[in-house]
A and B are shown apart, each in its own frame.
Chain A
């Protein structure tokens, strides 16, 4: 089953606007990470939030985690054309799945200048 699922699948905004992407997951997790990918290239880590954290900031990024709803959101404030990319959430589980990292299908963000 798909663990991390992002929504929306695609998001198109103007430069300067905020972009919000959501990620839902099914099983309990140890942590949740967000990654960015530019056009078929390797993924780049953005931020990691642990299961006992509710919110985390890094520059223009704000991530929230609601373990009761099994969901996370990534907010990019004051977006720039250079933020155009695909964004993925990834969940690390516990128990017998301890070594696994499961990625969602991603949100394609387009920021128009």
Chain B
């Protein structure tokens, strides 16, 4: 089944404890991206990748890191999480090296930083 998977789905952590949220797609998509969703703010793009080893900042990249060593994986790293990073996070992927195609979304990761 074609899908985007994210792990973990739920995470409660403490300020400053490094964490990684994994994202994997099995559709051989070139484009992948991360979003955070907060009430009243819609989805905001954190980082995107148009191909392996190519990543770039979205609108809210501060406090996050990403890497794209393989086509299928695009992990999101929070080196020192803070409470303002409490949010619902989505990974998405699409065919082609741009966002000009249908985005396939993962199920989301709900992160709470205390």
Interface residues of chain A, those whose CB is within 8 Å of chain B, are: 4, 30-31, 33, 35, 40-45, 48, 50, 88, 90, 92, 98-106
What secondary structure prevails in chain A residues at the interface with B? Answer: strand
Measured CB to CB, the residues of B under 8 A from A are 4, 31, 33, 35, 40-45, 48, 50, 56, 58-59, 88, 90, 92, 98-108, 110
- Residues of A within 8 Å of B50, CB to CB, are 99
Shortest distance between the CB of A36 and any CB in chain B (Å): 11
Selected A-B contacts with CB under 8 Å, 10 pairs: A30-B100, A33-B102, A40-B110, A43-B103, A92-B98, A99-B50, A99-B99, A100-B59, A101-B99, A105-B42
Specify which chain A residues have a CB less than 8 angstroms from the CB of B4 in the assembled complex. 42
Other-chain contact of B45, A35, A102, A106 (Cβ < 8 Å): A102
Q: Which 10 A-B pairs have the closest CB atoms?
A: A42-B105, A101-B99, A103-B43, A105-B42, A45-B102, A43-B105, A92-B99, A103-B42, A92-B100, A99-B48
Q: Which residue of B lies closest to A2 (CB)?
A: B42
Assess whether B42 is in contact with A88, with CB atoms less than 8 Å apart: yes
What is the CB-to-nearest-CB distance from B60 to chain A, in angstroms, rounded to a whole number? 11
Where chain B touches its partner, the secondary structure class is: strand
State whether A100 touches B99 (Cβ < 8 A). Answer: yes
- CB distance B105 to A31 under 8 Å? no
Picked from A35, A42, A45, A106, the residue with its CB within 8 Å of the CB of B108 is A42
Q: CB within 8 A of B40: which of A35, A98, A105?
A: A105
Complex Cα distance, B104 from A101, in Å, reads: 13
**Which residues on A sit within 8 Å (CB–CB) of B102?**
33, 45, 48
Instruction: Find A104's partner among B42, B56, B88, B105 (CB 8 Å cutoff).
Output: B42
